[in-house]
Structure 1
Amino acid sequence: MDQLIDEIRQAQRITVLTGAGVSTASGIPDFRSSNGIWTEDGSREYYMSSDYFRHDPQDFWTKYKDIFQLKLLGSYHPNEVHRFLSNLETLGKEVTVITQNVDGLHQRAGSSKVIEYHGSLTTSTCPACGSIYDADYINSSQVPICERETCQTVLKPDIVLFGDAITEHDRAEAIIDKADLVLVLGTSLLVMPFNFLPEYAWTRKIPTALINREATPKDRLFHYVIHNDLIDVIQHFEDQIIKNQPLK
């Protein structure tokens, strides 16, 4: 852990990959292990797919709001991990967060460079005219519809649905190319193609570090591996890195 602290201190450009373990520390459930329709074999892929959205957008929105608990989105707040990554920027470091999470908490914590690899729950877009609507509008009706009189199309959530293409992978690799250090926080690295990113960093001979409660199938790709509670580790980093250095 002390060696990794030194790596973070020395690195100017840090790329951080974050997963569900960062959001669960804010009380947001890991949807893949929560109760209900999300855990039924095959159901989540079927109902949360672009095909089902096109087939029955009204029922899609009913299930989407239930699964992702959109009404509760505003009640969640950034935690120590989000704030630590934002605070690294106050030290003059260039920090880019590439997150699997769709809750927008990294931005709310103050991180200025965030790539939402799987999209965002906080907005939806009209497939016809491209108008973008925020969470308040999305929650104002059971099935959100574009308010333009000439449009009136059912909105599509700005998350990556099953069947949608991942559009941010090449951009994520380009960010990793410029990094002095790649930190991976709170992810089991089971979801493709996100889990290819640490391997890309390894092939580019960039120092890599993983902090996760449990071992992952990709542990071998990291120079530093810490299996521990993420909040406990980050609080230690905060004490050693942020509080012991002057702001720039």
Structure 2
Amino acid sequence: MADDTAEMFDSPEELQEKVSQLAELVKGSSRIVVHTGAGISTSAGIPDFRGPEGVWTLRAKGLKAKSRPGSYSPTLTHMMIVGMLESGRLYHLVSQNTDGLHIRSGIPTDKISELHGNTNMEKCSKCGHRFIRSFRTRTAAKVHDHLTGRKCERCGGALKDTIVNFGESLPSEQLSKAHEVSQGCHTNRDDARMVE
């Protein structure tokens, strides 16, 4: 059985070819939506899940994933995405990450769908207002308890973290927006294909 955690690397020539293909797709596109996952944050010191040193890979071996101590900063890739937004090339960003680095990099909350929540965001259970914090908002010890113990600064309602745990549904508003913006993407090239 093949090792499904093995990482694959392109040769410099293969990588250059894929970069060129991606550049052509970007040039020929009128509406770009970027989707990101755990891999974008590994260079910031945040472990992924299924890679050789991933959280689940190590957990299966009885080990704990190692993360770089200290606070995490947006990576060069996060900043490239911000550059795409600032230049008018990026229409929307869809992310599975909960680390908050896209928001910290400068992506406005109306330009991102965070499908699994954000460790730095609280939402009022009464008025629905969202608050971005400079700290991790999750305080509950129980998996499905999301109350943070803080109150809404607008209406006094109970604040909840926005993290989506196993067994919980993705937030319908975020999921609907991600689906809507992704469905509206197209390219001016008939031979366009996904570059992996």
Partner of 2:84: 88
How far is the alpha carbon of 1:116 from its aligned partner?
0.3
Kept after mapping to 2: 8 A contact 1:121/1:135: no
1:7 aligned residue (25, 38, 63): 25
C-alpha distance 165-206 of structure 1, shift in aligned 2 (>3 A)? farther
Partner of 1:76: 72
Count of residue correspondences: 155
Output the TM-score relative to the length of structure 2: 0.62
RMSD over aligned CA atoms reads: 3.8
Kept after mapping to 2: 8 A contact 1:26/1:76: yes
Structure 1 position 178 matched with structure 2 position 163? no
Partner of 2:40: 22
How far is the alpha carbon of 1:160 from its aligned partner?
1.1
Partner of 1:118: 116
State the distance in 2 between where 1:146 and 1:206 align: 52
Structure whose residues are more often helix by fraction: 1
2:166 match: secondary structure: coil
How far is the alpha carbon of 1:14 from its aligned partner?
0.5
Letter of the structure 1 residue corresponding to residue 183 of structure 2: D
Kept after mapping to 2: 8 A contact 1:102/1:116: yes
State the distance in 2 between where 1:129 and 1:40 align: 41
Kept after mapping to 1: 8 A contact 2:113/2:175: no
Structure 1 position 34 matched with structure 2 position 30? no
State the distance in 2 between where 1:118 and 1:206 align: 33
Letter of the structure 2 residue corresponding to residue 34 of structure 1: V
Output the TM-score relative to the length of structure 1: 0.50
Structure 1 position 165 matched with structure 2 position 169? yes
State the distance in 2 between where 1:29 and 1:142 align: 22
| % identical equivalent positions | 29
State the distance in 2 between where 1:159 and 1:142 align: 11
| Unpaired segments ≥5 residues, structure 2 | 1-17, 142-147
